[in-house]
Amino acid sequence: MRLSRDIALIGAGMTRFHHRIHEDKTGRELFVEAALEAKGSVDDGIDFDDVEALYLGNFSSDAFERQAHTAALSADWLGITPIPATRVEDACASSGVAINIGAMAIASGAYDVVMVGGVEKMRGLSTGGVTDTLAMAADAVYEVGAGFTFPGLYAAIATAHFAELGSSWEQLAAITVKNHKNGALNPKAHFQSEIMETAKRLGERKNMTFDDELDFLRSSLNPVVAHPLRLFDCCPISDGSAVIILAAGDVAKKYTDTPVYLRGIGQASDAMALHDREDITTLRATKLAASQAYKGARVGPGDIDVADVHDCFTIAELLATEDLGFFPKGKGGEAAAEGRTALDGDVAINPDGGLKAKGHPVGATGVAMAYEMFKQLRGEAGGHQVSDVRYGLVHNVGASGATVAVQVYGR
């Protein structure tokens, strides 16, 4: 989709994603922390009075914190009322969709500057409670009612991909290893250690040693969550928030000489239940959203240097790299195992560690991906900077693929 005005990303901030350090904070407090960092990142400064609207991605503060109505509450706590504040809920794609809505609000001429945020405070619930809450993003009657958990749905996708396209769990393990390696270079990541480091630490407690990554990932310290996916195939349960500030191209220069531009956006929906999809091994909504975003940006998959894709499970990254057109169908696993998605690969996938290592506070994820593109395209990503980035792509998936939002960013 091509927007009728240029849209610039002029600032970005995020909390670290983590399970423990935010224990004493509520969602609104995490949002404020991210928003203040976003404000501080605007090169020539910005007054919050310039912000004309807030769009906030938030999946389920209702269940996690017994708190609904989080957009107005967040605006209130940041001191930016009385601007319109709107919550966006599309499961794990909530804030990726919020970015598109913010961009369209500017393109419509209604506003020149908007704030887009995402927040999730998940750790107030037990693992069982989180499992129940995440499952609300799937078809509650016909999938969850039938016994599927959320990891179970992606596990089922994996069994179909293995059987139909010949990929393997070992290829998924390569994605785990790569994303933890990247996460170790990202000070905002939930997990900041490479797999062998983790293996050593966990092994010491149990008097176990491991020859290599696969030896550890096949061990009892990496239990099966939902066959064929093990614990280290799944993203952790994290708390966090991320915030970006978008401005119309014609006012962006007031705030910075080096904005990042949102060149194309896309969004699509699909049948909610896996059983209603003709092809279980492809997320059709990813293909459609990506094709809109590529068209808007006038680029193709081969032009993308770096991408944050939605790896809530390792199999989801494999699918994404195929459905976004980086690799042919059935070759995504092979590409990962060959290192073609590493920081110095053909296309750097999830240089920030991805959901797998960076963490996945559900509603914050889409904006946290935009934060990463802001850093990558300005050459400010530090230890996990990809070289010569011209175009970056963000791919944010709701649940098992019923919602997908894609953005292409450029300089």
Partner 1 sequence: MEFTSKAYFDFIGEGKIMGTRCKACGDASLPPRPVCKECGSVELDWEEFAGRGEVRAFSVINVPLSRMEGRCPYAVGVVRLDEGPSVSGLILDVKDGGELSVGSRVEAEYVKEGEKTALCFRLVR
Residues classed as catalytic: 92, 360
N-terminal to C-terminal alpha carbon distance within the chain: 18
Strand 348-349's sheet: what is its strand order? 85-88, 53-57, 113-120, 240-248, 7-14, 260-269, 403-410, 391-398, 306-308, 348-349
Nearer to partner 1, 43 or 279 (CB): 279
Is the distance from CB of 57 to CB of 97 less than 8 angstroms? Answer: yes
For partner 1, which residue of 49, 66, 82, 141 counts as binding (CB under 8 A)? 141
What is the pattern of x (binds partner 1, CB under 8 A) and - over residues 95-134?
--------------------------------xxx-xx--
Nearer to partner 1, 208 or 271 (CB): 271
Tokens of 278: 């003709």
Interaction of residue 325 with partner 1, rule CB under 8 A: no
Q: Shortest approach of partner 1 to residue 272 CB, angstroms?
A: 11
53-57 and 113-120: which strand pairing? Answer: parallel
Interaction of residue 269 with partner 1, rule CB under 8 A: no
403-410 and 260-269: which strand pairing? Answer: antiparallel
For partner 1, which residue of 218, 271, 338, 385 counts as binding (CB under 8 A)? 271
For partner 1, which residue of 155, 285, 318, 347 counts as binding (CB under 8 A)? 155
Interaction of residue 228 with partner 1, rule CB under 8 A: yes
Which of 406, 377, 405 lies closest to 390 in space, CA to CA?
Answer: 377
Q: Shortest approach of partner 1 to residue 400 CB, angstroms?
A: 11
Tokens of 87: 């919550």
Nearer to partner 1, 10 or 122 (CB): 122
For partner 1, which residue of 147, 187, 344, 388 counts as binding (CB under 8 A)? 147
Q: Shortest approach of partner 1 to residue 140 CB, angstroms?
A: 10
Interaction of residue 220 with partner 1, rule CB under 8 A: no
Interaction of residue 214 with partner 1, rule CB under 8 A: no
Residues in region 162-191 near partner 1 by CB under 8 A: 162-164
Site residue total, partner 1 (CB under 8 A): 38
Q: Cα separation of 176 and 317, whole Å?
A: 10
Q: What secondary structure, in 3-state letters, does 81-140 show?
A: CCCCEEEECECECHHHHHHHHHHHHHHCCCCCEEEEEEEECCCCCCHHHHHHHHHCCCCC
CA atoms within 13 A on the CB side of 331: 9
Q: Shortest approach of partner 1 to residue 167 CB, angstroms?
A: 13
Is the distance from CB of 246 to CB of 374 less than 8 angstroms? Answer: no
Q: Shortest approach of partner 1 to residue 71 CB, angstroms?
A: 29
Q: Which residue stretch of 87-95, 112-120, 270-278, 299-307 sits at the interface with partner 1 (rule: CB under 8 A)?
A: 270-278
Interaction site with partner 1 (CB under 8 A)? 127-129, 131-132, 135, 141-144, 146-149, 151-153, 155-157, 159-160, 162-164, 223-229, 271, 273-276, 280
